Structure 1
Amino acid sequence: MTVHLAGPGLALREVEAGDTTDILAIYGDPEATRHLSFEPRTPEQVQAIVDRSIASATEDPRTEYGLAVTRIGDPRLIGYARLATEPQQAATIGFALHPTEWGKGFGTETVHLLCALGFRTLGLHRIWAARSPLNEASARTLLRAGMTEDGRIRDHVFVHGAWRDSITYSVLEHEWAPIEGVGDGTAPETGAT
């Protein structure tokens, strides 16, 4: 299944070999990764992410979706989003946007697109995400997207030389209310094949 899912302002598409530089501009940036669960990535590490994303698109069954976030009408990658399925009709999601795209509502739309993929296309029951306790912008984004704060995982990740907690959020299929034009067929170029 090839993913191409569009909303009012953004689209999710499969990662391509030419996306490496744009992903490195995000994952190699200390500011962009400040609250993520890893330190800035090297060019080699980003190439491995691109290679894994491309390879996962051909797996059957597919359990990982590493996707490019783009503006409608512009194929250039401005963010990287990931959905990884788990047993019991569940998945975890995560995303990172280039810092020049912060504060524009793109995070909320990205979460909605990932939920559309998970609930409408994959038939999942539960989607969850985790954030750094210091990342208040992510908290607002996840809540605006309809997720509910579940709790704290203590010492969840080891990053920047120390253990860090994560705050978790989730949304169930019957709770999710998509924003107009996200994965409902009203936006252009919507679908997964």
Structure 2
Amino acid sequence: MTPLHLAGANLELREVEPEDTDALLAIYGDPGATRHLSFEPRTREQVEAITARSIDSARATPRTEYCLAVTRRGEHRLIGYARLATEPQQAATIGFALHQAAWGKGLGTETVHLLCALGFNALGLHRIWAARSPLNEASARTLLRAGMTEEGRIRDHVFVHGAWRDSITYSILEHEWTPIEGADAAKVMARPAPPA
């Protein structure tokens, strides 16, 4: 299933490339963009390692991790990073981060829908789940709009910014998921990336 390419109404998910490092650093190196994530801002060296790991994970057999660049439809520049990691029992966890300039435009919801399309349509999963910081209300709205259900709280789930932090968890089951109405995401399947 490599290379992977998924298209929605406004966004596309594609494989990460070495040239994405600078755009990813603009997200993962930004204290504002990482304020609610499970880690502190990354250095260039750390982001280079994330880029390399993402590329390596696409070559793994079997593939259990999908680390993908989020781009605007028809454009190539990375504006976000999305991840789906499979687990036993036909399940996966998802996460994503968008550049601050892309916030507040519904692109997070579409990113979650595309990850669900990958998981349910292409990978045959039964359950997908996500976690957010208790203070990240924007993420709560995004996950709920995408059709996920709040499940509960994991206490002291991550150690970040020098303290333990809880996480609020959400999930969606295959029979609960419906694609974004009127969007190409309804028919999304993994397919070879278009030629460059």
Instruction: Verify the 8 A CA contact 1:78 1:97 in the aligned structure 2.
Output: yes
Question: Which residue in 1 is equivalent to 2:22?
Answer: 21
- The corresponding residue for 2:174 is 173
Name the residue aligned to 1:142.
Answer: 143
Give, in whole Å, the separation in 2 of the partners of 1:184 and 1:108. Answer: 14
Deviation at 1:49, TM superposition (A): 0.4
Number of aligned residues:
190
Q: Which runs of 5+ in 1 are unaligned?
A: none
Specify the SS of the correspondent of 1:70: strand
SS in structure 2 of the partner of residue 110 of structure 1: helix
Q: 1: CA distance between counterparts of 2:160 and 2:184?
A: 34
| Percent sequence identity over aligned pairs | 77
The answer to whether the 8 Å contact 2:9/2:185 transfers is no
Q: Deviations 1:92-137 (Å, cap 9, x if unpaired)?
A: 0000000010000000000000000000000000000000000000
Q: Which residue of 1 aligns with 2:94?
A: 93
Tell me whether 1:152 sits opposite 2:153 in the alignment. Answer: yes
Residue 153 of structure 1: SS of its match in structure 2? strand
Q: Is the CA contact (8 Å cut-off) linking 1:14 and 1:54 kept in structure 2?
A: yes
Deviation of the 1:182 alpha carbon: 4.2
Would you say the 8 A contact 1:68–1:79 is kept in 2?
yes
Structure 2: gaps (5+ residues): none
Asked if residue 8 in structure 1 is aligned to residue 9 in structure 2, the reply is yes
Deviations 1:60-92 (A, max 9, x none): 100001000000011100000000000000000
TM-superposed CA distance for 1:191, in Å, is 3.6
Aligned residues of 2:150 and 2:169 also touching (Cα < 8 A): yes
- Report the equivalent of 2:48: 47
Residue 63, structure 1, aligned to residue 64, structure 2: yes
C-alpha deviation, 1:147, in angstroms: 0.1
Which residue of 2 is the match for residue 102 of structure 1?
A: 103
TM-score, normalised relative to structure 1: 0.96
The CA deviation string for residues 120-168 of structure 1, in whole angstroms up to 9 with x for no partner, is: 0000000000000000000000000000000000000000000000000
**Pairwise CA distance, 1:192:** 2.5
Work out whether residues 183 and 191 of structure 1, in 8 Å CA contact, stay in contact via their aligned partners in 2: no
Cα deviation, residue 183, structure 1 = 3.1
What secondary structure is seen at the aligned counterpart in 2 of 1:192?
A: coil
Shift of 1:3: 1.1
* CA deviation vs aligned residue, 1:38-61 (integer Å, no higher than 9, x gap): 000000110010000001111110
Q: Which residue of 2 aligns with 1:183?
A: 185
- The answer (yes or no) to whether the contact 1:113–1:182 under 8 Å persists in 2 is no
Letter in 2 for 1:93: I
TM-score normalised per structure 2:
0.95
Tell me the residue number matched to 1:192: 191
Structure 1 Cα separation of the partners of residues 165 and 184 of structure 2: 33
Range that drifts further, 79-88 or 175-184: 175-184
Contact conserved, 2:57 with 2:65, CA < 8 A, in 1?
yes
